[in-house]
């Protein structure tokens, strides 16, 4: 099984030089630690920042400079600040090349649920609905099953939907899966995990790719 | 006409019960601290607040919640606030959650003379319930409307006596759109300067949108997630 850092490391292999990338809270944030050296990636934070830099040192901390997770951050040379409507203009118009999100459930049509659990306090969707409605390239970073072993890749969402037919790729602790018109396709598996095991842990329409291979990190 | 007020209490003098107020800020970054403190002191009730977040228990809009001044909250994310949760579960508070980009664009539309617009965000979700939908080029969109907002309470970095203002870093967030959207827009600045001192090339919100401006004081600028490099 992949650790959270290894999931992030695998997702980082999807980066291409010059990409504008929005990373969600949680595992997606870790992707920033695995950007290949020599590659220029522009991190977009939807509260109004392009070319987000690393966390500040204690004496660089500035309350006016935070990321979408409300953490103090820095801005890299070449960066820019903008208001929230411009930030979401970038997102809705498809200029953000890659969006990495967490999810509670994804179904075999690529619908995603990640904002609300009925019966629990609703905190809100933040920017997630805007991101999933418009991004062309969404990768979901998630654990394959819930803590009590329930598959999170399903035929039908039981949780409220965030966006329809938007996820094209999933990197879980067990496997890399693509979603096409025929459902989930297992393309890579974590070291030590059999494709048949991933198949068992995945609900809905699911196939093993004829060229399935081990994830290499 | 003089737009300069001595302080927050004087600038918000005519905000009344049951009005709708936009408040700038993302989390606690770029929130109108002075105007919020003055609203708490004035103790106006039954307010509808439009803001991306609802503050935390002891700061930001959280102070108005604790003082039971908010009837309805329109926001995109309201976590990190136990009093908010308590009032919501007790049925004492109404909440309307909107996708963040939709919230931003509805504020922008309000200030831009645009009554409504289509956006893909929220299509097929519970956000779309009761809203008109329409296909453009084979993709589905929702009709979202501009707001009606009696006041907009804005936090900026520098401003001049004409009401021209600049924001700093990510404290910009919702402030520029909301500054355009209030029937009356009240801006507090960290530094109020004479007209002519700011570079016209660097103005973010032109003074035409600003009705009142004052020099803020005693900024706390609290940080929700102080995160540093080891």
pLDDT tens per residue across span A31-90: 999 999 999 999 999 999 999 999 999 999 999 999 999 999 999 999 999 999 999 999
| A window 104-143, beta carbon within 8 A of B | 111, 121-130, 133-134
B97: distance to nearest CA of chain A, Å? 6
Q: Does the beta-carbon distance from B169 to A61 stay under 8 Å?
A: no
pLDDT tens per residue across span B180-195: 999 999 999 999 999 9
Q: Does the beta-carbon distance from A72 to B79 stay under 8 Å?
A: no
pTM, full prediction: 0.97
Q: Does the beta-carbon distance from B124 to A54 stay under 8 Å?
A: no
Residue A120 has pLDDT above 90, yes or no: no
A62: distance to nearest CA of chain B, Å? 9
Q: Does the beta-carbon distance from A73 to B227 stay under 8 Å?
A: yes
Mean pLDDT, residues B196-219:
98
pLDDT the model gives residue A169 = 98
A192: distance to nearest CA of chain B, Å? 34
Q: What is the DSSP string of chain A?
A: ---HHHHHHHHHTT--TT-EEEE-SSHHHHGGGGPPTT---EEEETTTEEEE--PPPGGG--TT-B-TTSBB--EEEEEEE--HHHHHHHHHTT---EEEEE-SEEETT--EE-S--TTS-----TTHHHHHHH-SSEEEEE-SB-TTS-BSEESS-SSPPSBSS---EEEESSEEEEEETTEEEEEEE-TT--HHHHHHT--SSEEEEEEEEE---
Query: Considering A14, A46, A58, A197, which one is annotated as catalytic?
Result: A46
Q: Establish whether A46 is a catalytic residue.
A: yes
Of A66, A88, A162, the CB nearest to B27: A66
Q: Does the beta-carbon distance from A92 to B121 stay under 8 Å?
A: yes
Q: Name the band, by pLDDT with cuts 50, 70 and 90, for residue B80.
A: confident
pLDDT tens per residue across span B103-148: 999 999 999 999 999 999 999 999 999 999 999 999 999 999 999 9
pLDDT the model gives residue A85 = 98
Residues of B in Cβ contact (< 8 Å) with A55? 227-229
Residue B230 has pLDDT above 80, yes or no: no
pLDDT tens per residue across span A161-206: 999 999 999 999 999 999 999 999 999 999 999 999 999 999 999 9
For an interface test with B, give the residue of A44, A126, A136, A161 to mutate (most B CBs within 10 A). A126
Of A49, A67, A92, the CB nearest to B119: A92
pLDDT the model gives residue A23 = 96
| A window 159-188, beta carbon within 8 A of B | 160-164
């Amino acid at each position: 099984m992949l650790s959270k850092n290894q999931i992030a490391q695998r997702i980082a292999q999807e980066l291409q030089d010059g990409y504008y990338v929005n990373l969600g809270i949680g595992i997606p944030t870790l992707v920033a630690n695995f950007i290949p050296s020599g590659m220029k990636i522009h991190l977009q934070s939807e509260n109004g920042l392009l070319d987000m830099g690393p966390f500040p040192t204690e004496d660089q901390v500035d309350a006016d400079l935070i990321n979408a997770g409300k953490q103090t951050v820095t801005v890299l040379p070449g960066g820019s600040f903008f208001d929230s409507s411009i930030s979401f203009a970038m997102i809705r118009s498809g200029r953000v090349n890659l969006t990495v999100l967490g999810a509670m459930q994804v179904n075999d049509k690529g619908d995603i649920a990640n904002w609300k659990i009925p019966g629990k306090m609703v905190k809100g969707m933040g920017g997630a609905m805007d991101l999933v409605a418009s991004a062309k390239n969404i990768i979901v970073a998630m654990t394959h099953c819930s803590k009590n072993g329930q598959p999170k890749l399903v035929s039908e969402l039981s949780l409220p939907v965030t966006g329809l037919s938007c996820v094209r790729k999933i990197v879980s602790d067990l496997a890399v899966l693509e979603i096409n018109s025929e459902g989930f396709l297992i393309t890579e598996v974590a070291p030590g995990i059999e494709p048949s095991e991933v198949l068992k842990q995945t609900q809905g329409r699911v196939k093993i790719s004829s060229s399935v291979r081990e994830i290499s990190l | 006409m003089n737009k300069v007020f001595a302080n927050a209490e004087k600038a918000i003098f005519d905000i009344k019960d049951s009005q709708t107020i936009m408040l700038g800020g993302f989390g606690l970054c770029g929130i109108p601290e002075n105007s919020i403190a003055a609203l708490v002191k004035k103790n106006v009730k039954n307010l509808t607040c439009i803001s991306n977040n609802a503050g935390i228990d002891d700061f930001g809009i959280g102070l108005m919640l604790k003082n039971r001044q908010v009837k309805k909250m329109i926001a995109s994310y309201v976590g990190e606030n136990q009093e908010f949760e308590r009032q919501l579960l007790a049925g004492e508070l109404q909440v309307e959650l909107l996708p963040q980009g939709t919230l931003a664009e509805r504020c922008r539309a309000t200030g831009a003379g645009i009554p409504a617009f289509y956006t893909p965000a929220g299509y097929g979700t519970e956000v779309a319930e009761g809203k008109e939908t329409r296909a453009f080029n084979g993709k589905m969109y929702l009709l979202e409307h501009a707001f009606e907002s009696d006041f907009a309470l804005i936090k900026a970095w520098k401003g001049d006596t004409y009401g021209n203002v600049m924001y700093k870093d990510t404290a910009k967030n919702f402030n520029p759109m909301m500054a355009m959207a209030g029937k009356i827009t009240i801006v507090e600045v960290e530094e109020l300067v004479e007209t002519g001192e700011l570079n016209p090339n660097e103005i973010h919100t032109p003074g035409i949108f600003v009705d009142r401006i004052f020099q803020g004081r005693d900024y706390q600028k609290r940080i929700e997630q102080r995160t540093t490099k080891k």
